[in-house]
Amino acid sequence: MLTKRQYDLLMLIDENLKTLGIPPSFDEMKEALGLKSKSGVHRLISSLEERGFIRRLPHKARAIDVIRIPDNIEDTRASSKEMPIMTPVNHIDNAFDKIPLYGKIAAGTPIEALRDDNEFVAVPPSMLGLGEHYALQVEGDSMIEAGILDGDTVIIQKTNTSENGAIVVALVDGFEVTLKKLFCRKGRVELEPANHNYETRVLTPDRVSVQGRLVGLMRNY
């Protein structure tokens, strides 16, 4: 299934290839789609490639082939068996709430989460509790034993506190963000993975702040 924005980008690339012989630049894609950052373009390109609509050629700049094109966006919705994770704001059904998708979070090596105010996720109201919520896309495998896989979308409730053993979004040293189990023990903070191949990080409390608590998960099959 394609969202409207994915479909618009696919048609933009195809039109440029037909008329100019090259795909648009990332800056041109960003402007055409009304995005505020290139990170949004990267996510759309990756999603189109994963679904088999385009192919990126290695070791070449601006090298994208269009493999196939749906007749229209309605056809992609009718023929797809996938449940959507990301839905354009104007097309969210009344039975769902929308929350912002802030970007990717590492479930392995910490990376800074990228906020993009142009992307949202449609979630059932029953998945949300009190307060504000946001979504992050998981990158990595350090939480697989907790059922959190690479590519999953996690739903996070904003909070700066959490009980021991909860899975939280932790900010380390003011710039690294990671998804881990949190334990506070004897003047230290432990960020524990759910994968025996990774080691627990032990830090002083002044180096860690809680940015949110995991309350839900969504996945495409």
The identity of residue 30, as a single letter, is K
Which run of H or E residues covers position 167? strand 167-172
Q: Which two tokens stand for residue 57?
A: 């050629």
Inter-CA distances, 178 with 27, 92, 107, 137, 194, Å: 29, 29, 6, 11, 13
Query: In whole angstroms, what is the distance from residue 198 CA to residue 207 CA?
Result: 20
Rounded Cα distance between 10 and 48, Å, is 8
* CB 66 within 8 Å of CB 14: yes
* H or E stretch at 75: helix 73-79
Q: Which amino acid is at 1?
A: M
Q: Determine the distance from the C-alpha atom of residue 101 to the mean position of all C-alpha atoms in its chain, rounded to a whole number.
A: 6
Closest CA to 86 of 158, 4, 29, 10: 4
Catalytic residue annotation: 142, 180
